[in-house]
């Protein structure tokens, strides 16, 4: 499909109106942007926004009546864009830089986020080449503005749904910082929610706010406006299990090990910081691209006290029993070692390419199964070294289970051994894939 090359925005003589020009193929299309009586901006028949910036950002995400959504700005359009955006004089970045687009899984397969400095011979995107490897606040200038509560005027919420849950929906958006704009995922709490749910979302935000690791979805902040919104960095590739379903031929075991190693790194960080996740599962591992995973969903997570190694829940709740260690279900005791158990189940889900664990069993039956010393079988594609590690994660007594320090090391050794074997072999990329049995 032909893509528009450039777009340009300029003020028209007629007060309060702007002309948006878009080159698509060999044709230039012109659109009128006008303001209604309330001062809201829109293209004819389009969605209305309070600021020009929000409209432009929206049109980058959605065509909304244009021939195509906006891509790159015309290089000489910055001056006119600034003039055109009287509400945004402090943000020269608006309309002057081509925006990095979020990762998506399109109908042709996976479109990874472009690498920052991609060389022609090195096609594979590395996590550190993406915009979400470092915190957007790693820039000291941006850090000056770091606060838990964000201003609504800097946030654009698009009506593009990334996912949903009991709480409401997760929408795509853009957050404007001092020097740049970043793609974000926004968890929007539905209006009908009770105070208890709002408190729960705020607890999730407080936990995420304390974490900063490349393998964990970062919180940008919270916005209290038309709804309570949790603004997070974008991991647009969707959950790990969904990504892997039906991809045995396409995604080699080495790629699965790579992603699981990243999850182990994120969990090792949590263990070091004395946080327990309590909901680690493939559904809560989100992909930035095919080679980059981040842990998400901190709704059940807890920060442990400095001298505590576990958290005791007051009562049992709506728990993901199939991912829980025996001591969680029997004694409501949660620790990094019980997260290790969940990591084992996550490994099983990944190496079985998105299958559901303990398929035919109900949650309580699983506990009996485990008590009898039984464990899930090795998935057909799973290498023996990886099945041995997941079996160790399912050690009944938590004291005898490995910690994430050990798990990460074993995952790393295995993944690196595959990588070095592949480098030495003439068929580079087709990493050796020894399966169980």
Residue 239 sits in the site that holds ligand AMP (CB under 6 A): yes
Contacts of 420 (CB under 8 A, 6+ apart): none
* Measured distance CA(410)–CA(403) in Å, rounded: 11
Write down the least CB distance from residue 286 to ligand AMP, Å: 6
Cβ proximity of 236 and 186 under 8 Å? no
Q: Apex CA 154: angle with CA 150 and CA 155, to 5°?
A: 85
Residue 232 sits in the site that holds ligand AMP (CB under 6 A): yes
Residue 260 sits in the site that holds ligand AMP (CB under 6 A): no
Cβ proximity to ligand AMP, 98 vs 163, nearer residue: 163
Write down the least CB distance from residue 222 to ligand AMP, Å: 14
Residue 244 sits in the site that holds ligand AMP (CB under 6 A): no
* Measured distance CA(84)–CA(216) in Å, rounded: 38
* Measured distance CA(412)–CA(417) in Å, rounded: 8
Residue 165 sits in the site that holds ligand AMP (CB under 6 A): yes
Residue 364 sits in the site that holds ligand AMP (CB under 6 A): no
Write down the least CB distance from residue 94 to ligand AMP, Å: 23
Output the residue with the shortest Cβ distance to ligand AMP: 163
* Measured distance CA(81)–CA(84) in Å, rounded: 5
Residue 202 sits in the site that holds ligand AMP (CB under 6 A): no
310-343 as b/e: b if 16+ CB within 10 A: bbeeeeeeebbbbbbbbbbbeebbbbbbbbbbbb
Q: Are strands 228-233 and 219-224 parallel, antiparallel or unpaired?
A: antiparallel
Residue 51 sits in the site that holds ligand AMP (CB under 6 A): no
Residues involved in catalysis = 279
Cβ proximity to ligand AMP, 41 vs 343, nearer residue: 343
Cβ proximity to ligand AMP, 286 vs 418, nearer residue: 286
Choices 2-10, 16-24, 195-203, 233-241 (CB under 6 A): range interacting with ligand AMP? 233-241
Cβ proximity to ligand AMP, 84 vs 102, nearer residue: 102
Residue 231 sits in the site that holds ligand AMP (CB under 6 A): no
* Measured distance CA(81)–CA(71) in Å, rounded: 15
Q: What is the DSSP string of 62-114?
A: --TTSSS---EEPGGGHHHHHHH-TT-TT-TTTTTSPPPPPPEEETTEEEPPP
* Measured distance CA(15)–CA(83) in Å, rounded: 12
Cβ proximity to ligand AMP, 105 vs 367, nearer residue: 105
Write down the least CB distance from residue 139 to ligand AMP, Å: 20
Cβ proximity to ligand AMP, 33 vs 286, nearer residue: 286
Residues lying near ligand AMP in the complex (CB under 6 A): 162-163, 165, 170, 185, 217, 232, 234-236, 238-239, 284, 286, 296-297
């Amino acid at each position: 499909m032909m893509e528009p090359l450039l777009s340009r925005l300029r003020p028209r003589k007629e007060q309060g109106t702007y002309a948006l020009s878009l080159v698509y193929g060999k044709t230039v299309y012109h659109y009128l942007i006008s303001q209604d009586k309330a001062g809201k901006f829109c293209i004819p028949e389009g969605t209305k926004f309070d600021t020009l910036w929000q409209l432009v950002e929206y049109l980058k995400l959605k065509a909304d009546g244009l021939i195509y959504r906006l891509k790159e700005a015309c290089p000489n359009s910055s001056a006119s864009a600034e003039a055109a955006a009287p509400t945004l004089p402090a943000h020269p970045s608006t309309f002057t830089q081509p925006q990095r687009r979020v990762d998506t899984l399109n109908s042709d397969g996976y479109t990874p986020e472009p690498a920052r400095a991609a060389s022609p011979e090195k096609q594979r995107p590395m996590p550190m080449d993406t915009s979400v490897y470092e915190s957007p606040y790693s820039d000291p200038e941006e850090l000056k503005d770091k606060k838990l509560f964000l201003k609504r005027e800097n946030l654009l919420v698009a009506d593009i749904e990334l996912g949903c849950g009991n709480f409401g929906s997760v929408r795509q958006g853009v957050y404007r910082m001092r020097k740049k704009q970043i793609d974000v995922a926004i968890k929007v709490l539905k209006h009908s929610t009770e105070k208890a749910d709002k408190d729960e979302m705020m607890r999730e935000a407080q936990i995420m706010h304390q974490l900063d690791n490349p393998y964990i979805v970062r919180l940008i902040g919270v916005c209290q406006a038309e709804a309570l919104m949790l603004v997070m960095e974008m991991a647009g590739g969707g959950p790990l299990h969904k990504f892997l379903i039906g991809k045995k031929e396409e995604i080699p075991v080495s790629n699965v090990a790579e992603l699981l190693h990243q999850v182990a790194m994120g969990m090792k960080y949590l263990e070091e910081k004395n946080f327990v996740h309590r909901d680690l599962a493939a559904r809560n591992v989100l992909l930035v691209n095919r080679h980059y995973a981040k842990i998400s969903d901190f709704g059940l997570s807890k920060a442990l006290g400095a001298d505590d190694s576990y958290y005791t829940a007051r009562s049992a709740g709506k728990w993901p029993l199939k991912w829980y260690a025996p001591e969680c279900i029997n004694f409501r005791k949660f620790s990094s070692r019980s997260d290790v158990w969940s990591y084992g189940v996550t490994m099983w889900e990944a190496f079985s390419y998105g299958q559901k664990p303990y398929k035919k069993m109900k949650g309580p039956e699983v506990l009996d199964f485990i008590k009898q010393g039984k464990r899930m079988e090795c998935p057909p594609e799973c290498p023996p070294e990886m099945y041995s590690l997941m079996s160790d994660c399912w050690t009944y007594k938590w004291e005898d289970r490995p910690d994430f320090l050990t798990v990460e090391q074993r995952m790393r050794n295995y993944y690196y051994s595959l990588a070095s074997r592949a480098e030495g072999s003439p068929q580079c990329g087709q990493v050796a894939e020894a399966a169980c049995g």
